[in-house]
Amino acid sequence: MALRNIFDYALATGAGSQTINVNVEQDISRAQAITIVLNLTGAATDAGDTLNVRFQETPDDGVTWDTRARFEQFLGTAVVSAAAPERRIAVLHARTQLQTTEEYYEPSGSAGATEIAAGTVINGPFYANLHRGSASLTGQQIHGNRYRVNLAVVDANSNGGFSGNIRIWSDVPEGPINA
């Protein structure tokens, strides 16, 4: 099955420290794998400026968010441009033989848990988007997203920002979930 783009986000953080959460609207529960591509084309100006990017899921309607993929931290002094971007790719497999550390672990959103290491992914099945029944479409009304991209920016003196794009590719078939 061919890959198709299911998420496209223009990264433009602006000045100042901030946390940005962007929902992934597509239901990826039937995907064999997803590929997350991060292209950094502009960086803040100081060594103390940082960008952390995570792909997260929620098992409980947004109460906690667990990190499934975490990119390496980018520094504000990165020498990047549209012609010469810093590029990182994370591939998450839903149906693959899991490593021992993926079969039993404490999710990063758990009380007392630690964040997964940079450059790490947690393979395993993808949850379906959250559904709530209605009188006209029992059990099929999407009311929440299970996945998001989390961006954490530290801008030490509020004088710069990061830019680029984040794309997610998947083999998710088009059409309704229960087609």
Q: State the chain's mean pLDDT as an integer.
A: 83
Provide DSSP, 21-43. EEE--S--TT-SEEEEEEEEEE-
Which tokens in the block code for residue 156?
């030490």
Classify residue 16 by its DSSP letter.
Answer: S
Please name each of the domains of the chain with its CATH number: 4-170 (2.60.120)
Please tell me the predicted confidence (pLDDT) of residue 163. Answer: 94
pLDDT of residue 95: 81
- Looking at residue 112, what DSSP letter applies? T
What Å distances lie between residue 165 and 7, 118, 129, CA to CA? 10, 19, 24
Using left for φ > 0, alpha for ψ between -120 and 50, and beta otherwise, residue 124 falls in left
Query: What are the structure tokens assigned to 19, written together?
Result: 């946390």
HSE (CB half, 13 Å, CA atoms) of 38? 25
Residue 47 token pair: 């060594």
Instruction: Show the 3-state SS of 127-144.
Output: CCCEEECCCCCCCCEEEE
What pLDDT digit, counting tens, does each position of 54-92 carry? 999 988 888 889 999 999 999 999 999 999 999 999 999
Asked whether 169 and 31 are in contact (CB, 8 A), the reply is no
CB 3 within 8 A of CB 171: yes
Cα separation, 85 vs 128, whole angstroms: 33
* pLDDT score recorded for residue 12: 92
pLDDT tens, residue by residue, 19-32? 999 999 888 888 89
pLDDT at position 130 over 80: no
Residue 144 pLDDT more than 90?
A: no
Entry pTM:
0.83
pLDDT digits (tens, 9 = 90+) for 164-178: 999 999 987 665 544
Q: How much is the average pLDDT of 37-60?
A: 91
Instruction: Yes or no: say if 170 and 4 are a contact pair by the CB < 8 Å rule.
Output: yes
- Report the distance separating Cα 101 and Cα 49, nearest Å: 32
User: CA–CA separation, 108 vs 120, rounded Å?
Assistant: 12
In the predicted structure, residue 42 carries a pLDDT above the cut 90: yes
Rounded to an integer, the average pLDDT of 6-33 is: 91
